[in-house]
Amino acid sequence: MKVVVGSRESKLAVIQSEMVIRAIKEYDDNIDVELVTMKTTGDIILDKTLDKIGGKGLFVKELDKALMDKRADLTVHSLKDMPMEVPEDLPLLAFSNREDPRDAFILPAGASEIDFSKPIGCSSLRRKLQLEKLFPQASFKPIRGNVQTRLKKLDSGEYGAIVLAYAGIKRLGLEERVSRLFSIEEILPAACQGILVVQGRAGYEVPYLAGFADEETKLIALAERSYVRTLDGGCSSPVAAYACIDGEEITIQGFYVDEEENQYIDSIKGSKYEGEALGKELALRMKG
């Protein structure tokens, strides 16, 4: 049996795909697994923010095509980068255990405090709006590119600090670069931050992902995505969601900014099996 895994070609994307490949080999070492990497439109166009060039779909378009053309059997994504609407013929097949979902504050190499004469680099309005409350004296500038590219821009003096998802930093083994981790209360993370997802064709069975798939994370992911989808939040929308499960109960926190730029944070609790309905209910309540 052969399984072809499609991935973006960045170092982090390859490491994440290798986590899936390892799980497949642990299930059955006789499965022949091949990794195929490709550059997506979102990786190529780095001089514009995502909302100016078409949103999150730009990170998955080429990988979706590889699935449809059967050049890949599975593709691996950071779930926070996935569009909220997924084609029915390309379902999400397995959700990983969640890595630390918090955002990380990173200073230039060798620096011990931020130089506020330079901007903080952050790529999302969600982060910027929450960071403005923590650092009212700061200015902000968009930053694009993979983690290594962003660190290079930071260390070259272009920024006073940058903010990245801690999950990616951990997977790259760069924890020593982190100056501070923001608590969930300080900065609510992007929906599904820290979760990997495997996508495939409808009807394609993946018993070999049994050791990779985490059912509790799936419930959390569906709840967070339901909240954002109801608010019609794309990559540029200042929307965030964070859910956690305690026993049989799920708590969902939502961050929402209205047209007048008023910011709201609210939460909802209920059965962990009703997360999608609860996410929608919370979004409608905050929107209304």
Which residues are catalytic, by number?
A: 81
Measured in degrees and rounded to the nearest 5, phi and psi for residue 268 equal -145, 150
Measured in degrees and rounded to the nearest 5, phi and psi for residue 104 equal -115, 140
Q: In this structure, what token pair is assigned to residue 132?
A: 């403005």
Report H helices in the chain. 11-27, 41-44, 50-53, 61-68, 125-134, 147-155, 166-171, 215-230, 275-287
Q: 136-163 b/e with 16+ CB inside 10 Å = b?
A: eebebbbbbebbeebbebbbeebbbbbb
d(CA 171, CA 98): 12
Residue with tokens 């909302």: 51
Q: In this structure, what token pair is assigned to residue 59?
A: 């990170």
Q: In this structure, what token pair is assigned to residue 8?
A: 């973006």
Report H helices in 55-106. 61-68
C-alpha 98 chain-centroid distance: 11
